[in-house]
Structure 1
Amino acid sequence: MADYLADVQKYDATADAEAVDKIVKHLGIALRSRDSSLVSCSDPEELARVREKWCKKKLGESDDARCDSVIEKVCETMAGDNSKNRVTFYYLVAKHMGKLAAL
Structure 2
Amino acid sequence: MGRREELIEKYAGDLRNLGIQPDMALLEKATEACGPSIYLADASTVASSDPQEMERVRENFCKKKLGATDEARIDAALKKAVETYGSANRNKHRAVMYYLLAQELGGL
TM-score tier, shorter chain, comes to: 0.7 to 0.9
Asked if the contact 1:8/1:91 (under 8 Å) is kept, the reply is no
Cα distance per residue 1:38-96 (max 9 Å; x no partner):
01111000000111111111111111221112101211222242211111111111112
The residue aligned with 1:52 is: 59
Q: Secondary structure at the match of 2:74?
A: helix
Aligned partner of residue 67 in structure 2, secondary structure: coil
**For structure 1, which runs of at least 5 residues remain unmatched after alignment?**
none
Give the alignment's Cα RMSD to 1 decimal: 1.4
SS in 2 for 1:26: helix
- Determine if contact 1:51/1:64 at 8 Å carries over to the other structure: no
Deviation at 1:12, TM superposition (A): 4.6
Partner of residue 68, structure 1: 75
Question: 1:82 — aligned with what?
Answer: 90
| Structure 2: gaps of 5 or more residues | 1-7
Instruction: Please say if 1:5 is aligned against 2:16.
Output: no
Check the 8 A contact 2:15/2:22 in 1, yes or no. Answer: yes
TM-score, normalised to structure 2, is 0.83
On the 8 A contact 1:39/1:86 being kept in 2, the answer is: yes
Pair 12,54 (structure 1): closer, same or farther in 2 beyond 3 Å: farther
Q: Structure 1 segments of 4 or more deviating over 6 A?
A: none
Q: How many residues align?
A: 100
- Residues 95 and 12 of structure 1: is their aligned pair in 2 closer, same or farther, counting only changes over 3 Å? farther
2:3 counterpart residue number: none
After TM superposition, the score normalised by the length of structure 1 is 0.87
